[in-house]
Structures are given as C-alpha cells and as structure tokens.
Amino acid sequence: MKMGYIVPVILVGLLISVLFLPQLRQSFLKLRSEKVTIAQTVNGHPLAGAATLDLNIITVLGKDGIPAILNPVFLTAQEAQGNMRDGERVLGVSINGESKAYPLSLLSRHEIVNDTVGGQPVAVTW
C-alpha cells in the first residue's frame, strides 16, 4: 500500500469505529435495558394524581460476569503484614477454631470467594 493511502484508510477506520461504537459495545458487553415504572411517594404515601416515574435499568454484566475465587491462597499473618496496609479492612470468618481474613480490596473485584473454614463450606461475599 502506498504511503499516501495509509492516513485516509486510518481516518475512515476511526470514523467507522466511532459511528458503530455503541452497537459494538452493546454486543460485546451484552447490555440489556429494562423499562420500569414506579409510583412517586412522599413519606411512603403515593402522590396525588397517581404520579409515576419511568426509569430505564441497564444491566452491564450478565450472569457470572464477575468471576468467583474458587481456590483462594492465603498468606501467613507475618506475610500479610508486608502485603497489606495498616488499617486495611477485611471480612473475617472464624469457624471451629480456624480463622481467615478476606481483604475487602480483593472482594470488591471478585465479590465472592468459595472456601472452607473449620471444615465448613462458606461463600464469602461483599
């Protein structure tokens, strides 16, 4: 391809991608939109004239969109001190004398950990 054609081809490609970006994004992310109507209330009582509010709820991630942690690997307390900030929040589980801590920073990215604590299966969620 001659050098004079490269820039126009790139510009046409960019133009096409900008024009079709919403369709591409929706097909790759499988966005779904659902229309809902809710009654407007004040202090739990419907407003006069049956006022309603129409909303569009857009689902970005489908079922199983965020992977669970199935086989978590744990650090010793001493190792964790070198890898975690002072005051970092954790969700703690203690069953039958076994205790484990799940950092919220990790749970915020995965939302669920399937684990066994004290011989009992647990699903740790955030």
Alpha-carbon span 5 to 33, nearest angstrom: 41
Q: What pLDDT was estimated at residue 123?
A: 94
Q: What pLDDT was estimated at residue 109?
A: 80
Model pLDDT for residues 73-121, shown as the tens digit of each residue: 998 888 888 888 888 899 999 999 999 999 998 888 877 899 999 999 9
Model pLDDT for residues 4-58, shown as the tens digit of each residue: 778 778 888 777 776 666 655 555 556 677 888 888 788 777 777 667 878 888 7
The domain spans of the chain are 3-59, 77-125
What is the CB neighbour count within 10 angstroms for residue 100?
19
Instruction: Return the amino acid letter for 97.
Output: G
Mean pLDDT over residues 53-72, rounded? 78
Alpha-carbon span 113 to 125, nearest angstrom: 7
Q: At 69, is the secondary structure helix, strand, or coil?
A: strand
pTM of the model: 0.51
Among residues 54, 57, 55, 53, the alpha carbon closest in space to that of 33 is found at 57
